Chain A
């Protein structure tokens, strides 16, 4: 772990693919313990961030640290302390389940075969079947089992629930919660299922077109980001005066609605300073917050 108590840290990381910037000066960190969710729309840079973390991709600019080392020079012993479940649970399709287990066990010195077997039995994954013959749910559980069996300190999951039905996703979540409850373990995950994220995460990082828009505890995000309905004396103005923490502003049916991040009293005072009054305040779910931050149109901040 680094001196700042972070398992991983991105420092002004830019990753370019040709002229496209997948990450654009992104800086954020994953603190020790708990669950950090990396959120964003498709193409926001989540998978790119994870690939730089695992040393699978070199940043064009900036640096990434994991477990106190440059991500491009992680010693094998430290790498063994990182578990990884890739997007879509990619495993060699021709391997049998028992071969996948043996393959992982041969590389990770701390691989716990007994635990892995227990998980596979719990998920009803047949050991003699080939990966290509497994359902998506079973493949996900297999990927999870072999990633967790080495008992890693830091687990990275790239959209682990992708393609799973509700029941399989719920089972997946249960395992994740078990994992979190084990002392000292840190989890970084990306997901598009924000209800799942709300259940397990205690910190969120929101990426939008490669830029970090939010990096805060989940409770802070839910408490501080709210939607305010404004009323103006007379005809509402065509444009709004700047409001500190403004996320999004829309004008509908002759009224302005703004989404602002900040303490409610401070936001109300800031709104009054622009000559308007707050007619209503609406708390937002994480999904609402996500939409407010990432919707392309009418974003003023």
Chain B
């Protein structure tokens, strides 16, 4: 399936590069002021955008026989496409983390900057926000576990949109998926601790993944 993965990565070249550049820029601009839930929710939006783009590719279905008529199950074909979108998102997450790290390192170098300028700061490492008028905490980079969580939930958002737009009621699926993605993140943001946040995100991701797998049951392409 490497060939299918590579083909899909290449098909997503323009939106994928756009996502990477946009996420890197957001990493820089949202490093300090923006709440972590909002910061992470952008991954859901970007993932949903990639899913929507793939769905739109599917609407050119008359041209897609070369790809879809292949001796592999529909689940494997579309799952591999999902991995391709996920690969772009991973690249985007790396770019986002790099932008975040760069901006925070820049502020750390200016430790003389007035702390009162940052009434709200965020710590993406524990998915928490705090208000500390006197101190600026500057985490650098993202630990693997948080990155994995972020990617898993983002993928769930992608999967929901991707499979949603492939279904007969495409126009309904897109707003429903958008609301579900953002709604999940609002719950995650209000979770009392990181474990609860991870549980909510995990349950939500699992539910969406089951929906996607159910949608692809059988061999309908």
Query: Interface on A for B, CB 8 Å cutoff?
Result: 47, 51, 54-58, 72-74, 76-77, 79-80, 82, 84, 86-88, 90-92, 94-95, 102-103, 106-109, 143, 158
Contacts and interface: CB of A to CB of B under 8 A. Distances in A.
Interface residues of B, number: 23
Given A86-B63, A90-B63, A106-B3, A56 B69 contact: yes
Contacts of A58: 220
B2 interface: yes
Q: Which residue of B64, B67, B219 has the most chain A CB atoms within 10 A of its CB atom? A: B219
A57 B65 CA distance: 11
A87 B64 CA distance: 10
Q: Which residue of B10, B64, B66, B72 has the most chain A CB atoms within 10 A of its CB atom? A: B66
B71 A80 contact: yes
B219 A88 contact: no
Interface in B67-103: 67-73
A46 to B, nearest CB: 12
Interface in B188-218: 218
Contact of A87 (B3, B62, B220): B62
A106 B69 contact: no
B29 interface: no
15 contacts: A51-B65, A56-B65, A56-B221, A58-B220, A76-B71, A79-B69, A79-B70, A80-B71, A86-B66, A88-B63, A90-B66, A92-B7, A92-B10, A106-B3, A107-B3
A143 B67 CA distance: 12
B152 to A, nearest CB: 28
Contact of A55 (B10, B72, B221): B221
Q: Which residue of B11, B68, B71, B73 has the most chain A CB atoms within 10 A of its CB atom? A: B71
Contacts of B59: none
A166 B221 CA distance: 35
B219 A72 contact: yes
Q: Which 10 A-B pairs have the closest CB atoms?
A: A80-B71, A90-B63, A86-B65, A76-B71, A106-B3, A84-B69, A79-B71, A107-B70, A73-B219, A103-B3
Contacts of B221: 54-56
Contact of B218 (A51, A56, A72, A84): A72
